[in-house]
């Protein structure tokens, strides 16, 4: 079968001719002033779509520190600020989140010592169904662990040289013969004919 | 140290009232201090009765 040549591939050295501003974080950041960055944060978080999203997350049990981490990391990805600036504005951003949540009647945990709760599917589902999310998360982990244990093949007892397990039974006759050095019956090779001179 | 840990430390320092000294040297004036947000919180979470009264007073003044 003949393979058609692929003409869509890059020309050698094409990377040197491409625009280096491929990603927002490769460009100079939009905000280099700390006050401007915080003003942008306030504007962004008071947008209904963005604000409601974070408030829903707080209601689901997310803490302020995790929300701050998500927000500033998104800002780095969008080229709004550098990672250094993200660390500098983290404090004020956390305070903005806290105030916004209070205005919506939510009191989220700060989460500075807990290390944050991972928002898993089981966790969110439990919150939606009004169950205890921590208990639901624990049950989901236990169920998954049981599933993994059930699908795993048991390790041979005593290693490779260990005695065979009772369930295996004796080896078949062929295998036993091969272990004793008797291979399958070999076909007789035809006798060589003498060379004619 | 992970980025998350740095964020956590930054939040802790800010809430403890510590300011980034080197940044403060460069920044003309750091506007968004803890005090600023305290004022903002009071303003936003305060009951809106006062505002209603003011609005009612304005309406009354217009009528008069």
- The pTM score is 0.60
Note whether A112 contacts B12, CB cutoff 8 Å. Answer: yes
Nearest to A68 by CA among B19, B8, B15: B8
Using a CB-CB cut-off of 8 Å, the residues of chain B touching A34 are 23, 27, 30, 32
pLDDT greater than 80 at residue A134: no
Q: By mean pLDDT, which of A29-38, A155-164, A172-181, B46-55 is the weakest?
A: B46-55
pLDDT greater at residue A96 or residue B28:
A96
Interface check A37 vs B, CB under 8 A: no
Which pLDDT score, from 0 to 100, does residue A69 have?
A: 93
Q: pLDDT band at residue B32, thresholds of 50, 70 and 90? A: confident
Q: What is the pLDDT of residues A61-92, one digit of tens each?
A: 888 999 999 999 999 999 999 999 999 999 99
Contact by Cβ (8 Å): A65, A110: yes
Q: Residue for token digits 């300011």? A: B19
Q: What is the DSSP letter of A74?
A: H
Beta strands in B1-64 (DSSP E): none
Give the pLDDT confidence score for residue A143 in this predicted structure.
82
CB count in 10 Å sphere of residue A70? 15
Using the 8-state DSSP alphabet, how is residue A23 labeled?
S
Instruction: Inspect the interface and report whether the beta carbons of B13 and A116 lie closer than 8 Å.
Output: no
Residues 6+ apart with CB under 8 A from B8: A65, A112
- What is the spatial distance between Cα A64 and Cα A35, in angstroms, rounded to a whole number? 21
d(CA A174, CA A79): 69
Average pLDDT score over chain A: 80
Q: Are A80 and A37 in contact (CB under 8 A)?
A: yes
- Please give the pLDDT value at position A45: 93
pLDDT band per the 50, 70, 90 thresholds, residue A175: confident
Q: What percent of chain A has pLDDT over 90?
A: 29
In contact, A99 and A105? CB cutoff 8 Å: no
Question: Quick one: average pLDDT of A154-160?
Answer: 65
Which one-letter DSSP state was computed for residue A52? H
Q: What's the confidence (pLDDT) of residue A146?
A: 85
Cα–Cα dist A54/B12, whole Å: 21
Residues within 8 A of A (CB atoms), B 11-40 only: 11-15, 20, 23, 27, 29-32, 34, 37, 40
DSSP state of A197: -
Whether A115 shows a pLDDT value over 60: the answer reads: no
Closest CA–CA distance from residue B38 to any residue of chain A (Å): 9
pLDDT band with cut points at 50, 70 and 90 for residue B26 = confident
What local confidence, expressed as pLDDT, does residue A171 receive?
78
Mean pLDDT over B50-64 rounds to 58
Q: Which residues 44-63 in chain B show a CB within 8 A of chain A?
A: 44-45
Is A167's pLDDT higher than 70?
no
Which DSSP string do the residues of A108-131 spell out, in sequence order?
Answer: ----TTT------HHHHHHHHTTS
pLDDT band of residue A172 (cuts 50, 70, 90) is confident
B15·A90 Cβ contact <8 A? no
């Amino acid at each position: 079968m003949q393979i058609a040549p692929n003409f869509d591939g890059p020309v050698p050295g094409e990377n040197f001719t491409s625009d280096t501003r491929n990603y927002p974080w490769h460009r100079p950041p939009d905000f280099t002033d700390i006050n401007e960055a915080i003003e942008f944060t306030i504007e962004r978080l008071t947008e209904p779509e963005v604000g409601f999203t974070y408030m829903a997350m707080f209601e689901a049990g997310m803490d302020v520190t995790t929300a701050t981490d998500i927000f500033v990391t998104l800002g780095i990805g969008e080229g709004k600020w550098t990672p250094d600036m993200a660390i500098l504005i983290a404090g004020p951003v956390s305070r903005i989140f806290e105030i916004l949540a209070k205005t919506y009647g939510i009191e989220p945990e700060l989460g500075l010592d807990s290390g944050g709760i991972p928002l898993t599917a089981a966790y969110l589902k439990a919150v939606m169904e009004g169950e205890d999310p921590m208990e639901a998360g624990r049950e989901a982990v236990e169920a998954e662990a049981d599933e993994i244990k059930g699908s795993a093949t048991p390790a041979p007892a005593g290693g490779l040289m260990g005695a065979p397990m009772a369930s295996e039974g004796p080896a078949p006759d062929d295998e036993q013969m091969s272990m004793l050095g008797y291979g399958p019956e070999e076909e007789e090779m035809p006798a060589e004919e003498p060379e004619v001179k | 140290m992970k980025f998350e840990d740095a964020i956590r430390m930054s939040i802790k320092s800010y809430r403890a009232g510590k300011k980034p000294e080197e940044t403060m040297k460069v920044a003309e004036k750091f506007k968004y201090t803890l005090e600023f947000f305290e004022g903002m919180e009071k303003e936003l979470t305060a009951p809106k009765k006062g505002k209603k009264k003011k609005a009612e007073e304005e309406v009354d003044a217009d009528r008069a």
